[in-house]
């Protein structure tokens, strides 16, 4: 939402205008929306939500890729430029240049961002649970869907990453669409950023609803006689619709969204935080546990060729996760040097 506002500002006032707009109000709006959606039980299992998220993801990825290709073509025709022509024309992202070590940290942080994109194991079982098919056909469907989704995701990310780097080089922003690698056409950027907003609203619920359900189930088992936790009150929404309201569910989910929103306002370092979360969750949840479960299920002999290859894969991903976490932490520390709480733009 902030990116849309700034894109329109740049279009009206010119690219040289800083267009400083506080992100805090937009984070609050996002938090209020998530509080509302979080009160809907099993909202993450609504079938149209997955379709909408896929369409939105495809929309902004395609726009980002297309703009990257156009930028590469434009820069190709502009090069080479004479020293006089280029002199005094700093790149819009020149502030990103710095010590060579900064580039190393950003590269490691990028591994964390990529790892976060592949941390689908958190919701894999939840998705499989929604498939209306008797076993073992649901496992077959999930295997095919996983292979296709990973292939498509990899192709898109590789194309967007390569085109972004080809277009901007070391000055590429962390997010080509919201970091203003592009300014025009502003209306196309608005469409892409609107798609990102819709996608993030749904993605928040997809990731958080399983956590909500886990905590509520644990609390019900821990305190089964507590009316605060187990009692449900039916609220009439219409003549045919009723909503079962639970006090614990309402307060716990609201508190969770409020806390995450406040943390987001205090630490508005999107790429750094995403990279750190990706580094934390990638190796244990996406690599280590699945590999170990496969070894046990298939009874892979220790020190066999397959076992050694699987362990090497796990070890390699562990190294990548540690490096990504280090890069993300370095990014946060660097951002904190110029950070002012609740004054983000």
d(CA 9, CA 19): 6
pLDDT on residue 252: 92
d(CA 65, CA 52): 20
Radius of gyration of the chain (CA): 23
Check pLDDT > 50 for residue 94: no
Instruction: Report helix, strand and coil shares of the chain as percent, to nearest 5.
Output: 75, 5, 25
Selection from 301, 217, 276, 175 nearest residue 42 by Cα: 217
pLDDT on residue 90: 43
**Phi, psi torsion values for 293, nearest 5 degrees:** -65, -40
161 CB-contact burial (10 Å; exposed 0-12 / middle 13-18 / buried 19+):
middle
Proportion of the chain above pLDDT 70, given as a percent: 80
HSE-up of residue 305 (Cα within 13 Å, Cβ side): 0
Check pLDDT > 60 for residue 85: no
In this prediction the pTM is: 0.73
The secondary structure of 98-162 as a DSSP string is --HHHHHHHHHHHHHHHHHHT-THHHHHHHHHT----TTHHHHHHHHHHHHHHHHHHHHHHHHHH
Angular region, 339: left φ>0, alpha ψ -120 to 50, beta rest: beta
> pLDDT for 212-227, tens place per residue?
888 988 998 989 888 8
Check pLDDT > 70 for residue 149: yes
| 3-state class (DSSP) for residue 64 | helix
Q: Is residue 20 within 8 Å of residue 340, measured between CB atoms? A: no
> pLDDT for 239-282, tens place per residue?
777 778 888 889 999 999 999 988 888 777 777 788 888 888 88
Dihedral angle sign, alpha carbons of residues 189, 190, 195, 201: positive
Q: How many residues does the chain have?
A: 345
* Mean pLDDT, rounded, of the chain: 78
What mean pLDDT do residues 67-73 have? 82
d(CA 247, CA 229): 7
């Amino acid at each position: 939402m902030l990116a849309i506002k700034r894109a329109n500002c740049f279009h009206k006032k010119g690219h040289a205008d800083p267009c400083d707009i506080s992100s805090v109000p937009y984070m609050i709006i996002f938090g209020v929306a998530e509080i509302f959606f979080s009160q809907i039980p099993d909202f993450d299992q609504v079938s149209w939500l997955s379709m909408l998220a896929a369409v939105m993801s495809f929309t902004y990825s395609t726009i980002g890729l297309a703009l990257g290709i156009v930028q590469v073509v434009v820069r190709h025709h502009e090069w080479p430029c004479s020293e006089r022509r280029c002199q005094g024309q700093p790149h819009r992202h020149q502030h990103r240049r710095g010590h060579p070590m900064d580039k190393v940290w950003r590269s490691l942080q990028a591994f964390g961002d990529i790892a976060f994109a592949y941390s689908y194991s958190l919701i894999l079982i939840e998705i499989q649970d929604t498939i209306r098919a008797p076993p073992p056909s649901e496992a077959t469907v999930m295997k095919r869907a996983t292979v296709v989704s990973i292939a498509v995701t990899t192709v898109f990310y590789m194309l967007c990453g390569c085109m972004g780097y080809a277009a901007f080089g070391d000055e590429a922003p962390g997010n080509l669409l919201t970091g203003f690698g592009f300014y025009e056409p502003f209306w196309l950027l608005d469409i892409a950023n609107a798609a990102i907003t819709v996608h993030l609203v749904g993605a928040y619920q997809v990731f958080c609803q399983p956590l909500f359900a886990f905590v509520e189930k644990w609390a019900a088992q821990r305190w089964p006689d507590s009316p605060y936790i187990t009692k449900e009150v039916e609220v009439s929404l219409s003549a045919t619709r009723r909503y079962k309201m639970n006090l614990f569910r309402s307060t716990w989910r609201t508190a969770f969204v409020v806390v995450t929103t406040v943390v987001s306002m205090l630490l508005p370092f999107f790429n750094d935080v995403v990279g750190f979360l990706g580094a934390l969750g990638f190796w244990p949840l996406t690599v280590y546990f699945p590999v170990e479960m496969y070894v046990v299920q298939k009874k892979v002999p220790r020190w066999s060729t397959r076992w050694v290859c699987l362990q090497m894969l796990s070890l390699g991903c562990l190294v990548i996760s540690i490096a990504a976490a280090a890069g993300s932490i370095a990014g946060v520390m660097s951002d904190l040097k110029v950070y002012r709480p609740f004054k983000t733009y």
